[in-house]
Amino acid sequence: MAALVVLFNLKDDSAKEAYEAWAKNTDVPTASSLKSVDDFKVFRLGNIMGTENPSPYQYCEVLHINDMGLLGEEVGSETMQKVAAEFQGFADNPMFIVSEQIA
């Protein structure tokens, strides 16, 4: 199984409540409805374990993907393009990392 891991910070720290509400009410429900997505979770990141040092990223999204080719087709839909544009309004230079589960 593949996963798409997205690491990012918000463009504006004051947007935390707006982003989190949008993630819960728009992003997760919309992306989770895609046939290519088996699961989608969003995490607010905290300190580095055992330290008071904050994570270099504020958020992590993890999407479990059953078909990367189909995902590519589905993200081209008008609905997903709207969601992607809204996400880009919140996220400052997000990193989209394709990963493969090995254990």
Domains identified in the chain and CATH numbers: 2-100 (3.30.70.100)
Residue type, 51: T
Question: Residue 13, class by beta-carbon neighbours within 10 Å (0-12 exposed, 13-18 middle, 19+ buried)?
Answer: exposed
Alpha-carbon 7 to chain mean position: 7
What predicted TM-score, i.e. pTM, was given to this entire model?
Answer: 0.93
Query: What's residue 88's pLDDT?
Result: 95
Query: Mind listing the pLDDT tens digit for each residue in 70-95?
Result: 999 999 999 999 999 999 999 999 99
pLDDT over 80 (residue 13): no
State the Cα–Cα distance between residues 41 and 24, nearest whole angstrom: 10
